[in-house]
Amino acid sequence: MDLVLQLLFTGIGIGAVYALVALGFVLIFRATNVVNFAQGEFSMVAAYIMVICAVDLSLPYWLSFIIALAGMVVVGVIFNLGVYYPLRHRTYLPVIIATIGASILLTNSVLALYGPQPQVLAGWFETPGIQLGPVYLDSQYLLIIAVTLALVAFNWWFFEHTMIGKKLQATSQDKEMASLLGISVSTMIMITFIYSAVLGGLAGILVAPILFVSIQMGATIALKAFAATIIGGFGDVAGAVIGGLALGIIETFGAAYISVPYKDGFAFLVLVLFLIFRPQGIFGERVAEKA
Amino acid sequence: MSTSENIQSVADIARPKPLLVRHAPYFIGAAVLVFLAASMQFDGYILNILMQATTFAIAVFGLSVVLGLCGQINLSQAAFFGFGAYVVGLGTTDYQLNYWICLFGGCVLALAAGALLGLSTLRLGGHYLAMVTISFQQIVTLIMINAIWLTKGPDGVPKIGRPALFSSSQSYLAFCVAVLAIVGYIVWHMPNTRLGRAMRAVRDNELAAGVNGIDVFRTKIYAFAICALLGGLGGGLFAGGFAYVSPDQFSFAESIVFLTMSLLGGVASPIGSAIGTGLLILIPEWLRFLKSVPGLYLAIYGLSVILIIRFMPDGIWGFVTAAYDRMWPPKKVAPSAAALVLKPAATGGATVLDVTDLSKHFGGLKAVDGVDIAVHRGGVHALIGPNGSGKTTTLNVLSGLYEATAGKVVLDGTDVTAMPPHLRAAAGLGRTFQNIRLFRSMTALENVIIGAERPGNTLIGKGDHAALTERALAALTFVGLGPRANELISSFSYGHQRLIEIARALAGNPTLLLLDEPAAGLNSTEKLELHELLKRIAAQGLTILIIDHDMTLVSEAAQHITVLNFGRRIADGESMAVLRHPDVVSAYLGTA
């Protein structure tokens, strides 16, 4: 029972990271109808910026954090201008391929600049964690869960209760009508890319002390975040969060009770099962191309 | 230049020289290449490069089928390549099996894996396919590395055997080149086969493909399975060529290399695949210094993908062919001498379409609510109603694009209520769309040929290319566009595109033709022509069910009218009487 609780805690912590990246997926998908296959690389790039600042340059952790997030803003802008925006009038297939190209470019640029050795990044807190009854609560996991909760709340407030959030929603639902109402669609899309790059970056920075910082971390996280969005229901914000948590828990238990080397395979298995038996996910969204 | 010089005779199009004669240069060229591969004395380095290029090109041909022809993405081609390679590798070493059995087994395994993966995902949108194939690739890599009892893990499989017949590297290369030539021929020829046309139709417009009798899901699975098969074949040959395989040769990065090769050369054609493969094997060899920095050359691949997609979406070969087409535009075609014959099937009774108590609800919205329609054989039946009355929804339920919530649809004696669109087309239903849905990358003739290929069309003889072309040309001539048959859809005006869509439906010799607002967006001359056309169609005994807002057209063309309002039928009967019906007047003009 103790082990179950411990695994549950770990699963929720990892799941929260998937949820953050999944949120980034969903935001871009809703704004542009395109799945960004480089979403995971945002996490990877941010984690490397953290390593460079906090480890290599020995800057304070908080300063490194700010630099990393600022870096993600720049990445979001460049990504939008260089990859998405020129293709915005084309069908989804060229855009998908271009984002895959961007993902390869980012991963291997980092590899070329920084080499293949995985890096270690310390956690935010000095205290490693607290013992609560039978469960040991790792401070980094606690931080991840807290930040995810705060971001979900912020997200809800931002989209439902601010003007800019409403403009973003309008843009994602009908670009033409939004532009006729005086909303600058290209600005809104730019904001979406920046926001989701920052979300992805945040996830990467938070998860870096738990995993090694490696060039593959982006692909691994993105794969699971995508599985999370399908499990939750594609394009649904709540679905992405629930899906992420569910996946984190499934994976942690799978690794503990079934097999460690195939830990990364469980996400795929769950993904395929959902695709076959409930492609609309838990919260149900349309899945086929629009009629 | 007089027009007569510009016109190619129908005979040239309908009855070309036998295929083997026309394609003889290809086989002669291929034979020369095989001979060169077998006889020239290459050093080991060149031989390796050629072996790699040959086997990779076969896998890239697979991508040209799935991505180029069918518009579906596959980011796990290296995994399928790995299936072929590992079956040959492990089979010829650990299990001491015959090379040919292993090669065959590898192809079958790849084919089966591709089909299964496709079955799980291809009903869904393209994003799912991209992510699922990436996941699949990762899983396969995990298994190759971790299932040491099966795959020997990261150490790989050494000392892989070759068939006795081709035991020297040189002869084995010649064998691979021969396989490449045969596969290349099949892939090159595929766009003009029934399956290839179906794939192109699915790529251009899935909905239109479905209502023209193409099983969209099955077509995608075939494309995906063929791609996987070619991946397995290439991999099997690769294993024999290099005698050693290891997991890193079949990683996600390698799938990206395949994709880049395909995109760079031009995804639409095997020639493009060959160009792309050749370049991306040679360039890294020339730029070997790039390989000294890990990641650098893959980073360049990633950047190239972005740049190609943005600036040269059709790849090198696509760029060349487009330039060629600009310099030598397609020739005009003499209109078909044969008049279009329509012989609508008549197996049911006097009622061609019997709709009873049909409902379609979207959540709480009753878009169509308990509607009855009986369309009598012959003549024109109109379905009218104010905006939002449920007309187009009804048509979409009739053609199977929406599933009915309740009710029954009987077409010429066959209950089609539960059938998907392509089976309804096979049962005799033809339709057009309000927002025109043509296959935009194809010519008018190719569009109409797909219509003529409707399963159940009895007027195309044994359905060979000549018969289909003749039928399609007759249909295009019937709507007045015969001479422009070889032009791409984009060069036609809006009104003409509507006519092509009608010709596409007519070529299939349907039992019932559904026309969804055919007059929308037409000018007054075009409307008159449309009216003429409807008369000529009806004169051949084909029953038409038409939706339109143009009351002049409806009242003049239709003998029978059904009126919908708020999803319910409010009037039905002979045209003039219905149009005078007080409920109809108030629905259109408001109550006085």
Any bridge partners for residue B543, and if so which? B512
Provide the residue type at A273 as one letter.
L
Residue in chain B lying closest to A230 (CA): B128
Is the Cα torsion angle B243, B246, B251, B257 positive or negative in sign? negative
Model confidence, pTM: 0.87
Segment A177-233, tens digit of pLDDT? 888 888 888 898 899 899 889 989 998 999 899 888 998 888 888 888 888 888 887
Domain that holds residue A64: 20-214
On the question of pLDDT at B59 being above 90, the answer is yes
Residue in chain A lying closest to B300 (CA): A105
| Interval A45-62 mean pLDDT | 93
Q: Evaluate whether residue A186 is within a structural domain.
A: yes
On the question of pLDDT at B24 being above 90, the answer is no
Any bridge partners for residue B514, and if so which? B431, B545
How many contacts does A have with B, using Cβ atoms within 8 A?
143
Q: State the DSSP code for B335.
A: P
The whole-number pLDDT of residue B108 equals: 97
**B361-B364-B366 Cα angle (round to 5):** 40
Q: How far is A53 from chain B (nearest CA, A)?
A: 22
Chain A residues within an 8 Å CB radius of B310: 86-87, 98
Q: Which of residues 40-69 of A touch B (CB under 8 A)?
A: none
Unique residue bearing structure tokens 């910026």: A49
- SS3 assignment, position B564: strand
* E strand segments, A112-220: 129-132, 135-138
**Are B126 and A111 inside 8 Å of each other by CB?**
no
Unique residue bearing structure tokens 């920095």: B293
**Are B309 and A98 inside 8 Å of each other by CB?**
yes
Chain A residues within an 8 Å CB radius of B123: 279, 288
Give the count of domains, chain A.
Answer: 1
Contact call for residues B85 and B51 (beta carbons, < 8 A): no
Provide the residue type at A23 as one letter.
L
Q: Evaluate whether residue A283 is within a structural domain.
A: no
Q: Evaluate whether residue A10 is within a structural domain.
A: no
Q: Evaluate whether residue A254 is within a structural domain.
A: no
On the question of pLDDT at A287 being above 60, the answer is no
Is the Cα torsion angle B87, B93, B94, B96 positive or negative in sign? positive
Contact call for residues B423 and B444 (beta carbons, < 8 A): no
Q: Evaluate whether residue A83 is within a structural domain.
A: yes
| Interval A7-22 mean pLDDT | 89
Any bridge partners for residue B408, and if so which? B356
- The upper half-sphere exposure of residue A47, i.e. CA atoms within 13 Å in the direction of its Cβ, equals 32
The whole-number pLDDT of residue B591 equals: 61
SS3 of B150-184: HHCHHHCECCCCCCHHHCCHHHHHHHHHHHHHHHH
Q: How far is A171 from chain B (nearest CA, A)?
A: 21
**B229-B234-B235 Cα angle (round to 5):** 95
Q: How far is B70 from chain A (nearest CA, A)?
A: 12
CA dihedral B16, B21, B22, B23 (to 10 degrees): 140
Chain A residues within an 8 Å CB radius of B75: 100
The whole-number pLDDT of residue B97 equals: 92
Contact call for residues A283 and A291 (beta carbons, < 8 A): no
**Are B295 and A112 inside 8 Å of each other by CB?**
yes
Spatial CB neighbours of B194, under 8 Å, sequence gap ≥ 6: B453, B463
Ordered structural domains, chain B, with CATH: 3-252 (1.10.3470), 377-402+428-589 (3.40.50.300)
Nearest-angstrom CA–CA distance, B266 and B312: 9
Q: Evaluate whether residue A219 is within a structural domain.
A: no
Residue in chain B lying closest to A228 (CA): B131
Q: How far is B112 from chain A (nearest CA, A)?
A: 16
Q: Evaluate whether residue A40 is within a structural domain.
A: yes
Chain B residues within an 8 Å CB radius of A280: none
Which of A101, A106, A279 comes nearest B305 by C-beta? A101
Q: Is A271 on the interface with B (CB under 8 A)?
A: yes
Burial of A257 (0-12, 13-18, 19+ CB in 10 A): exposed
Q: Evaluate whether residue A240 is within a structural domain.
A: no
Tokens of B217: 């899901």
Segment B325-384, tens digit of pLDDT? 888 877 777 666 677 888 888 777 788 999 999 999 987 888 899 999 999 998 899 999
Distances (CA, A) of B224 to A53, B219, B572: 46, 9, 48
Nearest-angstrom CA–CA distance, B526 and B499: 10
Chain B residues within an 8 Å CB radius of A78: none
Run of H or E including B143:
helix B126-146
Segment B83-137, tens digit of pLDDT? 999 999 999 999 999 999 999 999 999 999 999 999 888 887 777 888 888 888 9
